[in-house]
Amino acid sequence: MNGGRDLALSAADVKLKAKAKSISMPRSNLALKQRERSKTLSFRRTGVSAEVFTGKEKFEKKVVEKDEDTKMRIRAVLQKSCLFQHVDQEQLETIVEAVEEVHFNEGDVIINQGEPGDNFYCIEMGAAEAWITKPGSKRPEKVKQYSSGETFGELALLHNAPRAATVKASTDCVLWAVDRSTFRAIIMTTTRHKREMYESFLKEVPLLKSLNNYERATIADVLEPEYFGAQHNIVVEGGKGDKFYLIEEGEAEARTQGKVVMHYKRGDYFGELALLNDAPRAATVTTLTKCKVASVNRDQFKAKFRFTAPDGLQSRIVVQRLLGKLEDIMQRKKENYEKMNAESAVSPASAPFSPAAAEESPPSPTNKTLHA
Ligand SMILES: Nc1ncnc2c1ncn2[C@@H]1O[C@@H]2COP(=O)(O)O[C@H]2[C@H]1O
């Protein structure tokens, strides 16, 4: 692996290098076609404008021949990705038929920042990394590491925009490529809708303030809207917890042993322990009004933000930042519970704890170990 050196080369150098490599090693037709196509496209398209998706784009089903065994492997990889969670059986089969297997060697550039997007990729085997060269800078920065089961290349297709990052193979890779029109016809509607729906809300969530726009957008992929009437117990003390909740609309309160310990409003969250471990629910959370919440399932969250490599990588940083912060907050909550319990022995009228206030207080010196 040669780190970011290749990426500091000019786009022309990278193309030449890719061309030289393609002569010396066997490649799938798609990988070759793709390089040719991206070259032609970069001449044909002089500018890329944002596009309004009407949901009525014409789409012709693509079929790439493959055996049943291969189809099963593709289904298994696709079903692991949260971008595919909402496709029905028929849509999944359409994607499975259209998907093309592509191979890249260690160091190959799979996606070039600034070029138009043709495919969305899912890693079957191997690892890749995303690098961004910021405007005015010549040095690319590594922003993400991918391993098998993970996906990339969705942004250019979702927004009809140039590639936002360069993605290169950090080992030999086998990828499943979903072509632009299949992606747009099937996956785009739900993904883009979800990212747009949660974009402004997630910016308001204090817990997520330290994340960048792309990290917040990918959190939107794992959020599910849930609706509750007033006086509904969303989680019950002592019960099993596997979801984390963000309040989008409405108010709720948490009680432990019948005593109100928290009050929640828009932007607040609860059930965070479930993201970290299997501990039983520490409180009962009851809606005070009608509530709309965005929930995150622990397995999906971990699948999306799991550690992918031993060094300091972006997905790990997201988890670290998010979970590290959660740990701080949980520790402060615990201290607050203890304080309140001590106070309530003296005065029964202590005010419920506010999560926003907890975040404003200085962090406690917790040991920020990472949770896989
Ligand atoms: N911080 C980031 N900003 C933008 N794209 C990123 C980032 N990290 C990873 N990527 C991925 O890199 C891909 C490059 O191609 P796309 O722009 O189509 O989609 C992009 C994302 O899938």
Q: What is the ipTM of this complex?
A: 0.94
Q: How confident is the model at residue 53 (pLDDT cuts 50, 70, 90)?
A: very low
* Final residue in a domain of this structure, among 161, 192, 223: 192
* Final residue in a domain of this structure, among 192, 217, 241: 192
Tell me: do 224 and 186 sit in the same domain: no
- Residue 86: pLDDT over 50: yes
Tell me: do 248 and 183 sit in the same domain: no
Q: Quick one: what percent of the chain has pLDDT higher than 70?
A: 64
Tell me: do 159 and 85 sit in the same domain: yes
Q: 133: CA distance to ligand 1 center in Å?
A: 12
Cβ–ligand 1 contact at 109 (below 6 Å)? no
pLDDT at position 330: 55
Cβ–ligand 1 contact at 333 (below 6 Å)? no
Cβ–ligand 1 contact at 143 (below 6 Å)? yes
- Is the CB of residue 22 less than 8 Å from the CB of residue 14? no
Worst-scoring range by mean pLDDT, 51-55, 104-108, 241-245, 338-342?
51-55
pLDDT at position 167: 97
Tell me: do 188 and 220 sit in the same domain: no
Q: 153: CA distance to ligand 1 center in Å?
A: 6
Please tell me which of 81-95, 104-118, 183-197, 206-220 the model is most confident about, judged by mean pLDDT.
Answer: 104-118
Tell me: do 18 and 125 sit in the same domain: yes
CATH (domain of 310): 2.60.120.10
- In testing the pocket of ligand 1, which one of 120, 150, 155 has its CB within 8 Å of the most ligand atoms? 155
Tell me: do 119 and 231 sit in the same domain: no
Q: How confident is the model at residue 338 (pLDDT cuts 50, 70, 90)?
A: low
Tell me: do 223 and 356 sit in the same domain: yes
Q: 258: CA distance to ligand 1 center in Å?
A: 47
Does residue 368 lie in a domain region? no
Please tell me the total count of domains within the chain. 2
pLDDT at position 224: 87
281 is in an annotated binding site: yes
What tens digit of pLDDT does each residue of 203-255 get? 988 878 777 788 788 888 888 889 999 999 999 999 988 888 999 999 999 99
- Residue 366: pLDDT over 60: no
Tell me: do 153 and 266 sit in the same domain: no
Average pLDDT of span 127-134: 95
Q: Which residues pair with 297 in a beta bridge?
A: 243
Does residue 224 lie in a domain region? yes
Please tell me which of 24-33, 105-114, 209-218, 314-323 the model is most confident about, judged by mean pLDDT.
Answer: 105-114
Does residue 294 lie in a domain region? yes
pLDDT at position 220: 87
Tell me: do 253 and 175 sit in the same domain: no
Cβ–ligand 1 contact at 158 (below 6 Å)? no
Cβ–ligand 1 contact at 163 (below 6 Å)? yes
Q: How confident is the model at residue 103 (pLDDT cuts 50, 70, 90)?
A: very high
Cβ–ligand 1 contact at 184 (below 6 Å)? no
- Tell me which residue range forms the domain holding 66: 10-192
